[in-house]
Amino acid sequence: MAGDRSSATEGARTGAQDAPERAAPLLPPSPTAAWCEESALHEGGCGFVRVVGVSPRISKGRFRSLLVSFGSPAAVEAEQGYDAIVSEGVDPLFLLAIFWHESRFGTLGIVAEYGTKNPGNTRSSSTGVGEPVETEKGRFIRYPSWTEGFRDAAHRLVDRRYPYARLGAVTVESIIPLWSPREDGNDPDAYIASVLDFMSQHEEVTTVQGSPAVQWLPAPETNFTRGRGGKRILWVIIHTTEGPFSGSVNWLRNPRSQASAHYVVGRDSPSGPIRVAQLVSEDDTAWTAGNFAVNQASVNVELVGYSRQNPPVDEETLQVAAALVAQICQRHRIPVRRVERSAILSGIPGIAGHVDVPDPDQPQFGGGSGRHTDPGPFFPWGRFLSLVSAGGLPVEDKGAVIQIGPFGAHLGGGFRRFWEERGGLPLFGWPIT
């Protein structure tokens, strides 16, 4: 894509586009050692940088201030544009980096000359909004607002009519070769370097509140299930790794383990930095809890710690994990409350420990099929939920209808409130455990 090769991007010629019908090869180049060493995005290793299906790496205020400081005409719609990007599950810092690379935030090239309000310099509209405009460099889309331009740039990354979602391109290194193909005279390696450099400079890394820096270290296809079988995400399940960060991540990425998790949070040594790795997309089912039905309806978070120790997890790991879990709860409208085994059997959403996951064969027992006890008897649930609540969703809309139990039944209104307050309906003999 990325058709406008103005002076802002020095010398690459007009690129062919990511047309919906096209299925370009997915051959991401390897990041250079320099990027890995200098960028917090690659902290602790040289994994690809995931930008679809992740939390924002930049705040709305910082997003706006960058556009304002460079005199971008898009600054007047910065907040709306940010929200449009986030609503598609795309990292706004990534699209800001593309906007900078393509047109210096709309101040150079086709975007400026023709007033296209097109941050990605796209030649097609994935949302159906906008009209084509002919230029000396070919056809581009002119959007009615910057917000619609940002929305379209983000939407095409998740629209299966386009090659990104079809080919599983969710990282900088896999998206850019499709966005700016080498066969059209572009230099995707240089483009990737430019985007990663911009993101490294402007990423907002926080460890207590806001968005933790998340490193994408994908588990192999042998260790998780694509999709969620149509299930809604109801729970966040908390685990302890019983080992240091790197060893735990490596094991969960080893095909022999036949296991995975969505996230791992923690450090390798008491004095080491806190790291957050994502191994499985939240759209997919990680193999973590020892109960496939629960796995299909949960996001599983492994905390570096030891379930028999007191405390099982250090304070900074707890804080970073709480910030991450708050974001997960916001994304999936999961209420911030502890739920135990009986509530999980009743389909009541919330936050649980691995110990609370019913054994699929003998649901009167917890800990999944392996009868695990993590995160352990000393896990500070009150403290953790308070931290999550600071940035989470403490009260769910009681008017909403929820799915309960394993059979697809639904509840809403006053009967739902009764159900949740009583921890399901064990007093009526359901679920039978």
Tens of pLDDT, residues 148-189:
999 999 999 999 999 999 998 999 999 999 999 998 788 999
271 with 384, same domain: the answer is yes
CA distance 307 to 380: 11
Structure-model confidence comparison of residues 62 and 418, the more confident one: 62
- For the chain, what is the mean pLDDT? 81
- Which pLDDT score is estimated for 26? 31
Alpha-helix runs per DSSP H in 16-74: 33-38, 60-69
Task: Copy the structure tokens of residue 325.
Answer: 């879990």
160 with 234, same domain: the answer is no
**Structural domain contains residue 423:** no
- Reported as a pLDDT band with limits 50, 70 and 90, residue 22 is very low
210: pLDDT strictly greater than 60: no
113 with 261, same domain: the answer is no
Q: 373-382: per-residue pLDDT in tens?
A: 999 999 999 9
- Reported as a pLDDT band with limits 50, 70 and 90, residue 255 is very high
168 with 128, same domain: the answer is yes
139 with 118, same domain: the answer is yes
Q: Cis (ω within 30 of 0) for the bond into 244? A: no
244 with 162, same domain: the answer is no
193 with 257, same domain: the answer is no
244: pLDDT strictly greater than 80: yes
**Structural domain contains residue 403:** no
What pTM does this model have?
A: 0.52
97 with 189, same domain: the answer is yes
**Residue 134: domain span:** 7-21+29-202
- Quick one: three-class SS letters along 175-224? HHHHHCCHHHCCCHHHHHHHHHHHHHHHCCCCCCCCCCCCEECCCCHHHE
160 with 235, same domain: the answer is no
